[in-house]
Amino acid sequence: MTARARLEALLAGADVEVNGARPWDIEVHDERLYPRVIAEGSLGLGEAYMDGWWDCRQLDEFFHKVVRADLGSHFRLTPEALWLAAKSRLQNRQNRRRAFDVAQVHYDLAIDVFEATFDKRMTGSCGYWKDAADLDQAQEAKLDLVCRKVGLERGQSVLDIGCGWGAFMGYAAERYGAACVGVTVSREQADYVRRRYAGLPVEAQLKDYRVFAGEVDHVVSMGMFEHVGAKNYRTYFELARKVLRQGGLFLLHTIFSAERGAAIEPWLNKYIFPNGVLPTVGQIGAAVEGLFVIENVENFGAYYDRTLMAWRANFVTHWAAMAARHGERFCRMWDYYLSSCAGGFRSRRISVGQFVLSPQGVPGGWRLER
């Protein structure tokens, strides 16, 4: 069987056609695509898209169908995937030295890329769309939900592990009168926080979470746990417990997978989130044993599909300017990242949610502050 016939047969199992008429069908521009994907798997598929070898009018729905059909399991393991899996098992890919890798590849990109993609607060995690009409509302609703879930009060202090561009810290300081300190491995993020929130009780520290020293009333972490790695889960929660004052709460906002894996797939690992890995709910539960009581878990994974599509819509409106500054190949990479992740969440193979954790259990039980 030729490489083309093999790939066409695999895609047919996900209801995708080569050069078909439906929005999720792929249009092939270069015949070299077929042997490349058969030989290199998802990495070859993504790099071929960046190179312009194929297109799809509705890339997010293509990935929804591919992930839902679990097509990845039908490809033989490539040397790249095998090496990534071996490194993930044998090494601590998220140790202190490697913790800064993801900043160099992703978070330290030019700020205009994120400004073209995110909401007005530059919130780099899933929005909460329950009563929201647009991205700005969804992100503010999420930030407010976090504040209410930890029962944040004026004058209290909060540590944000992986503070990003400071969206939560700025919101908590402005709306709740909180004093916030965040840690990030991205110099660009730390500098941005210092500029945007100068004059507010907001501090960004450029460091790995493991070396943070201090004591706070509450701890929050949004979209960072995916960079921690299973070998470090216990250390991560021990740090959170150590810095949390009596009576405080820890809110963990993270993506989680339905299946345990040693690493995210090779294309995302190379181009977007090096050393990333998605936890399972079971891994989180095991890692907090003896440290925290799990007070509440909320899964709103479908909201990340909507968030990613809103991010993509924002970016597409700035495509010409982004291509002029960063190149067409970069724009195709960014589109592939946003669309493939949206399809993944739409398939429900991955989810996102929030865990409310207390050191000794909330007397009388935890409840959401209104």
Mind telling me the catalytic residues?
341
Classify strands 26-28 and 54-56 as parallel, antiparallel or unpaired: antiparallel
Structure tokens at 146: 């976090």
Q: Are strands 350-358 and 293-299 parallel, antiparallel or unpaired?
A: antiparallel
Virtual CA dihedral for 145, 147, 152, 153, nearest 10 degrees? Answer: -90
CA atoms of 71 and 318, how far apart (whole Å): 32
| Residue 2 CB neighbour total at 10 angstroms | 10
Tell me the β-bridge partners of 254. Answer: 353
Q: Are 66 and 73 within 8 A, CB to CB?
A: no
What whole-number distance in Å separates Cα of residue 339 and Cα of residue 63? 8
User: Which residue is associated with the tokens 């004058």?
Assistant: 155
Residue-wise DSSP of 159-225? EEET-TTSHHHHHHHHHH--EEEEEES-HHHHHHHHHHTTTSSEEEEES-GGG----BSEEEEES-G
50 half-sphere exposure, CB direction, 13 A CA radius:
17
